[in-house]
Amino acid sequence: MTTARRSDATRAAILEAARERFASDGYERATIRAIARDAGIDPSMVMRYFGNKEGLFAAASAIELELPELGALPSRHVGTALVTHFLDRWERDDVLTGLLRVGVTNATGAERMQAIFAEQLGPVALGVCPDPAEAPRRAALAASQILGMALARYVLHLPPAVELSRDEVIAWLGPTVQRYLTAEGP
């Protein structure tokens, strides 16, 4: 095992500050100087450790959706399970919010978001979709609803969307996602 270096704490502090700032300010307004200030170090350290701003963002937005194993649960509950999981994942930290914010204004961010959903939601769709050839579009439909709720609730802060309880969101969106993924046709 590699022994812990003294700089690991600083690295981690920078990453944490970067995640918060990217999540709350977006790519352009999250300045390296502000991130460094939050982390309590000098801006030049950020460059030393991550090369440049884009490198910092890449490191800060490394993410696993950690989708649950689909085979374990009956496929008729996959919609509810997915919505529940994403709600949890979204509220655990601000990495996903940051990714969404950056994905909207930055081409690199958009590509990363594309890749994440293709690689991690795609297989789930493949497992439960009636026609495998249709899996990508089913996944895209499901993603549109999940991302849309995240947008309304965590980014735009539309009041009625924020006030919906966790269970209400699951109850409303679950069947929608279920239908998108498993229905024979529209």
Partner DNA sequence: AGCGTTGGTCAACGCTTGTTGGTCAACCTA
Partner DNA sequence: TAGGTTGACCAACAAGCGTTGACCAACGCT
Residues that bind DNA (CB under 7 A): 5-7, 9-10, 30-34, 40-48, 52-54
**What residues contact residue 15 under an 8 Å CB cut-off, 6+ apart?**
59, 60
Q: Is there binding between residue 126 and a second copy (CB under 8 A)? A: no
- Shortest spacing between CB 99 and a second copy, in angstroms: 11
Amino acid at 111: E
Map residue 4 onto helix, strand or coil.
Answer: coil
Among 10, 108, 176, 182, binds a second copy (CB under 8 A): 176
- The values of phi and psi at residue 131, to 5°, are -115, 110
Q: Which does 136 bind (CB under 5 to 8 A by kind): a second copy, DNA, none?
A: a second copy
Cβ of residue 39: shortest distance to a second copy, in angstroms?
22
User: Which two three-digit tokens encode residue 123?
Assistant: 């297989």
Measure the CA–CA gap between 62 and 130, rounded to whole angstroms.
32
Site for a second copy in 15-54 (CB under 8 A): 25-26, 28-29
